[in-house]
């Protein structure tokens, strides 16, 4: 089977002799033109697939299956109902639902009505959901009945896709004209903003169709059974698994939250077309998947969301050699993925994985401060052009003009480039390498975070006089947020108070793992915070260690060893707090799995409610 890189290079290029070697290379590198249905919207491609395979299974959840015909009929009914409220092209409809068939009906129904959908993760804090709903000027909100009481107030129509379905189901089931064009909005996804408020990225149908047309072919989605959807629809990484199977008559498998549920789904069947996953989840999978049961489960692992290294792929290269391992790079502003690199058998076993070459109808430029191309081996800022470039930021004209600029190298006066803020370079082989960020933006668990936003929100706490937030790699190899806080003497309190404050304001991935109390922040000679001088956080342990096992039960001794192994600590005491030691949901899953193997049964709820070994021991008896 040809590798992805070979597929990308299939189109040849004969450069005129007058071009320099660098110009010839760049012209060939960015010669990515390919045909795709640029005059169609996403839902129209789905409708064509319904005609080809009406009885094929489109959606599979724990207790429900929908055929393509059934999913299409329900989406049509919802679209007609939405139109009664005046929903149409470039309207924005909020979608706050759990991973369920209603989610799939909601997305397609919104698109068929001609509108764009705004995913609202029901696990997000009330305040953040409220801001997103107001900022997007959401008119109609789609949700589920059991979520209604936890949602912010909404002055417009609100529909529950479960309890209100009897009313919606009175609409006709056949396709309805949407009036949307490829230039209209397909979705708006919010990402972290440096000002303390998230910003909405506007994606057109054309950009989404270009990506889906490319990825279904490049990832050979039709050769497998479909893809599991296990991540939030507020995370654009999910787009690949959510839509690509529906373009080729395959199934979308809806998986409940938690890496352990993805493991269960992978072990339940063979020949998934692809699994889209972050490096952090990939490493957790390697811990939880039995070595002798991993081969043949997945045709391709598409890894994105943050920087990837070869070491994270060792398990799969050893035990699932036939599974394609593809590093997909792309900001939300360029429709999921704009550059890919497929790992070859003879690639190194250590070091960073390149981000490779551009996808179809996409151009990647590494430029200096004068917007001039740099030579191979020279670091520059990565700019992205092509059909996948977003329309801009919703109601952020100044920021849009700053980040989306006219392409100075294009003969087409309408072409734009997205300025990523990422540092990159071409290696000697002409492959693109990612080198980090120019600014204070980081990625944690695949989610993009502006450190300035975290600092702005933390500074709102009355007990915080000033603060600084860094991303630091811990002993487990994962990046975590560290907050350095100068407390107001009038509001002294426990650091856990700050953690609770942040959890009420931002998603979990933006809550610092550690809070470090300082008398003052170190400053440079220019009076700015000297981030290089901030101390590394201490991972303190309390209470008794392995040196006094006689005082502890067998279960406590087992858990102490497991916690120490997973958290990469010399020892752990029974009164140490899991989260204070650097624990998170992924590491928690690993602890639960290892504990079960050792005969100690703990539920995720118990671990998150009873955060010390002593409390856990009491809870499980």
518/553 same-domain check: no
pLDDT tier at 7, thresholds 50, 70, 90: very low
**What is the domain-level CATH number for residue 557?**
1.10.1200.10
Helix (H) or strand (E) holding 364: strand 362-367
602/505 same-domain check: no
- DSSP per position, 415-468: -EEEEEEEEEEE-TTS-EEEEEESSSEEEETTEEEEHHHHHHHHTTSTTEEEEE
**Per the structure block, which two tokens stand in for 112?**
């068929």
* Cα dihedral across residues 161, 163, 165, 168: positive or negative: negative
Q: What pLDDT is attached to residue 589?
A: 85
Tell me the C-alpha distance between 212 and 222, whole Å: 13
Average the pLDDT over 431-436 and give the result: 93
Express each pLDDT in 402-418 by its tens digit: 999 999 888 777 899 99
Q: What pLDDT is attached to residue 539?
A: 62
pLDDT at 271 over 80: yes
578/452 same-domain check: no
87/155 same-domain check: yes
Q: Are 45 and 37 in contact (CB under 8 A)?
A: yes
Express each pLDDT in 147-181 by its tens digit: 999 999 998 999 999 999 999 999 999 999 989 99
**What is the domain-level CATH number for residue 476?**
3.30.300.30
520/583 same-domain check: no
**Counting Cβ atoms within 10 Å, is residue 436 exposed (0-12), middle (13-18) or buried (19+)?**
exposed
pLDDT at 477 over 80: no
Q: Which of 180, 213, 233 is the last residue of a domain?
A: 180
pLDDT tier at 59, thresholds 50, 70, 90: very high
Residue with the larger pLDDT of the pair 192 and 496: 192
**What is the domain-level CATH number for residue 73?**
3.40.50.980
501/581 same-domain check: no
Helix (H) or strand (E) holding 618: helix 613-620
pLDDT at 395 over 80: yes
Q: Which of 488, 509, 533 is the last residue of a domain?
A: 533
**In degrees, to the nearest 5, what angle opens at C-alpha 504 toward C-alphas 133 and 507?**
65
Average the pLDDT over 185-192 and give the result: 96
Residue 146 located in a structural domain = yes
Please provide the distance, in angstroms rounded to a whole number, between the alpha carbons at the two ends of the chain.
Answer: 54
Q: What pLDDT is attached to residue 248?
A: 99
581/522 same-domain check: no
Residue 229 located in a structural domain = no
**Per the structure block, which two tokens stand in for 212?**
């889906």
The percentage of residues in the chain with a pLDDT greater than 70, rounded to a whole number, is 94
DSSP state at residue 332: G
161/60 same-domain check: yes
Express each pLDDT in 18-29 by its tens digit: 567 888 888 899
pTM: 0.83
Q: What pLDDT is attached to residue 573?
A: 87
Tell me the C-alpha distance between 109 and 102, whole Å: 10
Residue 89 located in a structural domain = yes
**In degrees, to the nearest 5, what angle opens at C-alpha 397 toward C-alphas 212 and 438?**
70
609/513 same-domain check: no
C-alpha torsion 555→617→544→497, nearest 10: 140
Q: Domain range spanning residue 576?
A: 549-620
Q: Which of 485, 500, 533 is the last residue of a domain?
A: 533
Tell me the C-alpha distance between 530 and 31, whole Å: 44
**pLDDT winner (highest mean) among 116-130, 275-289, 523-537:** 116-130
Residue 587 located in a structural domain = yes
**Per the structure block, which two tokens stand in for 91?**
């309207």
Residue 164 located in a structural domain = yes
pLDDT at 545 over 60: no
| Mean pLDDT of the residues in the chain | 90
Residue 539 located in a structural domain = no
| Count: domains in the chain | 3
Among 193-207, 210-224, 332-346, 518-532, the minimum mean pLDDT is found in: 518-532
**In degrees, to the nearest 5, what angle opens at C-alpha 24 toward C-alphas 18 and 28?**
140
Residue with the larger pLDDT of the pair 226 and 608: 226
Q: What pLDDT is attached to residue 74?
A: 99
The percentage of residues in the chain with a pLDDT greater than 90, rounded to a whole number, is 64
Average the pLDDT over 48-71 and give the result: 98
Distance of CA 322 to the CA centre of its chain: 25
Residue 75 located in a structural domain = yes
Q: What pLDDT is attached to residue 65?
A: 98
pLDDT at 364 over 50: yes
DSSP state at residue 343: P
- DSSP per position, 10-51: -S-----TTS-HHHHHHHHHT-------TT--HHHHHHHHHH
- Per-residue HEC secondary structure of 90-153 comes to CCEEEECCCCCHHHHHHHHHHHHCCCEEEECCCCCCHHHHHHHHHHCCCCCEEECHHHHHHCCC
Q: Are 554 and 587 in contact (CB under 8 A)?
A: no
The helix/strand count (H/E) of the chain reads as 19, 26
pLDDT at 222 over 70: yes
Residue with the larger pLDDT of the pair 334 and 436: 334
**pLDDT winner (highest mean) among 25-29, 326-330, 465-469:** 326-330
49/169 same-domain check: yes
557/490 same-domain check: no
- Give the start-end residues of each E strand in 215-322: 226-229, 251-254, 275-277, 300-303
559/469 same-domain check: no
Residue 83 located in a structural domain = yes
Among 269-283, 396-410, 518-532, 550-564, the minimum mean pLDDT is found in: 518-532
Q: Are 197 and 103 in contact (CB under 8 A)?
A: no
pLDDT tier at 476, thresholds 50, 70, 90: low
Among 202-216, 464-478, 533-547, the minimum mean pLDDT is found in: 533-547
């Amino acid at each position: 089977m040809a590798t992805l890189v070979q597929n990308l290079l299939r189109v040849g290029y004969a450069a005129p002799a007058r071009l320099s070697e660098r110009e010839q290379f760049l012209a060939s590198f960015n010669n990515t033109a390919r045909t795709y249905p640029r005059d169609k919207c996403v839902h129209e491609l789905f409708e064509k697939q319904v005609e080809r395979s009406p009885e094929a299974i489109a959606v599979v959840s724990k207790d429900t299956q929908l055929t393509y015909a059934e999913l299409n009929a329900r989406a049509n009914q919802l679209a007609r109902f939405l139109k009664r409220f005046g929903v149409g092209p470039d309207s924005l409809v909020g979608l706050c639902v759990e991973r369920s068939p209603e989610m799939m009906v909601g997305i397609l129904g919104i698109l068929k009505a001609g509108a764009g959908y705004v995913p609202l993760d029901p696990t997000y804090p009330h305040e953040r959901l409220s801001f997103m709903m107001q900022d997007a000027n959401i008119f109609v909100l789609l949700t589920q009945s059991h979520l209604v009481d936890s949602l912010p107030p909404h002055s417009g129509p609100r529909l529950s896709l479960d309890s209100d379905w009897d009313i919606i189901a009175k609409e006709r089931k056949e396709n309805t004209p949407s009036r949307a064009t490829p230039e209209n909005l397909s979705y708006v996804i919010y990402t972290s903003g440096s000002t303390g408020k998230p910003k909405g990225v506007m994606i057109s149908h054309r950009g989404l169709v270009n990506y889906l047309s490319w990825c279904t072919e490049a990832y050979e989605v039709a050769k497998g059974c479909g893809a599991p959807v296990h991540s939030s629809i507020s995370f654009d990484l999910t787009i690949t698994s959510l839509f690509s199977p529906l373009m080729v008559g395959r199934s979308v498998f809806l998986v409940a939250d938690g890496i352990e549920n993805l493991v269960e789904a992978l072990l339940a069947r063979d020949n998934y077309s692809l699994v889209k996953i972050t490096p952090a989840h990939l490493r957790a999978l390697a811990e939880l998947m039995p070595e002798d049961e991993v081969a043949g489960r997945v045709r391709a692992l598409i890894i994105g969301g943050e920087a990837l290294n070869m070491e994270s792929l060792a398990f799969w290269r050893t035990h699932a050699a036939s599974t394609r391992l593809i590093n997909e790079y792309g900001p939300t502003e360029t429709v999921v993925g704009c550059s890919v690199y497929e790992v070859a058998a003879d690639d190194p076993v250590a070091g960073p994985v390149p981000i490779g070459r551009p996808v179809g109808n996409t151009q990647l430029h590494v430029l200096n401060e004068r917007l001039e191309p740099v030579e191979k081996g020279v670091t520059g800022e990565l700019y992205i052009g092509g059909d996948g470039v977003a329309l801009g930021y919703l109601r952020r004209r100044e920021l849009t003009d700053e980040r989306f600029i006219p392409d100075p190298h294009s003969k087409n006066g309408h072409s734009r480039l997205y300025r990523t803020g990422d540092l990159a370079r071409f290696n000697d082989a002409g492959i693109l390498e990612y080198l980090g960020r120019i600014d204070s933006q980081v990625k944690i668990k695949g989610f993009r975070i502006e450190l300035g936003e975290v600092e702005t929100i933390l500074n709102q706490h009355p007990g915080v006089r000033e603060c600084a937030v860094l991303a630091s790699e811990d002993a487990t190899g994962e990046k975590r947020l560290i907050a350095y806080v100068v407390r107001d003497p009038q509001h002294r309190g426990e650091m856990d108070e700050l953690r609770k404050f942040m959890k009420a304001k931002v998603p979990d991935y933006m809550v610092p793992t550690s809070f470090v109390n300082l008398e003052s922040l170190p400053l440079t000679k220019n009076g700015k915070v000297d981030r290089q001088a901030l101390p590394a956080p201490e991972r303190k342990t309390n209470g008794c260690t392995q040196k006094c096992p006689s005082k502890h039960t067998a279960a406590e001794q087992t858990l102490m060893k497991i916690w120490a192994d997973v958290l990469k600590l010399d020892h752990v005491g029974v009164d140490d707090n899991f989260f204070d030691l650097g624990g998170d949901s992924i590491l928690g899953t690993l602890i639960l799995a290892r504990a079960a193997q050792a005969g100690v049964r703990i539920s995720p709820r118990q671990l998150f409610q009873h955060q010390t070994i002593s409390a856990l021991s009491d809870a499980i008896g």
